[in-house]
């Protein structure tokens, strides 16, 4: 058990969207939650909301694309709590210029550094502690674009999210013998702030029919609640009104 009998979860991208909702749902289930992200003010707001609701949370500002800082954050959590039971890799970005015609190497590199390298850095940072515990779970937030290729997300985003799926499965192949397990969570369209970066921002009516952050929060908490003998290898989840199936003009932009 952790100090104080608590399970400890580390949630990156925890200042908004899926990460924020996951942190809140985990805290409601009794986890001690550490949220990381680049915006300290947003993290502090999430911590305040969780603690006001009676949960336990703290913030560690972090850019997951910097490997040394990721390791320092993991070491800080371990020093304070003695263990890390769950890592939720929810930090992720996209760029407006995402078609082959507009794509810039700067944008490509940014997505690889955050969406892929950042996931790997965090996994590597928690791995020694989880191996010592012979227990631990990782949830990597990928995307519907990590399973299905389409034009709208762009080549960089689609490639990194496919890579996260492969990374997750390769982790399970090696680390199952140590009692560790990872899940690749692949949501379709979710109404989060990242939508503002799209070349064509969906309307409020369209966003209301999408998955909501709290839907993914509940999903994260469910995956985390399963006993150690259970590995949910991947979850593919989408809105019932799936624009990728319907092929509206907006979904092709």
Give φ, ψ of 173 to 5 degrees: -65, -40
Q: How far lies 16's CA from each of 152, 156, 160, 192, in Å?
A: 22, 22, 21, 8
- Sorted by sequence, the CB contacts under 8 Å of residue 71 that are 6+ apart come out as 121, 125
Q: Quick check: is 157 catalytic?
A: yes
- Sorted by sequence, the CB contacts under 8 Å of residue 109 that are 6+ apart come out as none
Cβ atoms of 177 and 157 within 8 Å: the answer is no
Residue 190 DSSP code: B
From the list 31, 121, 157, 171, the catalytic residue is 157
- Kind and range of the H or E run holding 130: helix 118-133
Q: Which residues are known catalytic residues?
A: 157
């Amino acid at each position: 058990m952790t100090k104080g009998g608590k399970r400890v979860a580390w949630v990156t991208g925890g200042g908004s969207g899926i990460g924020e909702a996951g942190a809140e749902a985990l805290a409601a289930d009794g986890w001690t939650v550490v949220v990381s992200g680049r915006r300290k003010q947003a993290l502090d707001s999430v911590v305040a909301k969780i603690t006001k609701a009676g949960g336990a949370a703290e913030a560690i500002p972090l850019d997951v694309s910097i490997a040394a800082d990721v390791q320092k954050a993991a070491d800080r959590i371990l020093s304070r709590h003695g263990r890390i039971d769950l890592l939720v890799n929810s930090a992720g970005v996209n760029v407006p210029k995402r078609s082959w015609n507009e794509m810039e190497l700067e944008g490509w590199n940014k997505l690889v550094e955050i969406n892929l390298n950042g996931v790997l850095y965090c996994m590597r940072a928690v791995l020694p502690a989880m191996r010592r515990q012979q227990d631990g779970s990782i949830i990597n937030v990928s995307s519907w674009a990590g399973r299905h290729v389409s034009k709208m997300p762009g080549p960089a985003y689609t490639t990194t999210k496919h890579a996260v799926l492969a990374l997750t499965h390769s982790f399970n192949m090696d680390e199952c013998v140590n009692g560790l397990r990872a899940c690749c969570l692949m949501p379709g369209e979710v109404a989060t702030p990242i939508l503002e970066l799209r070349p064509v921002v969906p309307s409020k009516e369209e966003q209301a029919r999408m998955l909501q952050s709290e839907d993914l929060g509940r999903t994260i908490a469910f995956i985390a609640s399963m006993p150690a003998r259970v590995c949910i290898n991947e979850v593919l989840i989408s809105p019932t009104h799936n624009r990728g199936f319907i092929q509206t003009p907006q979904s092709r932009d």
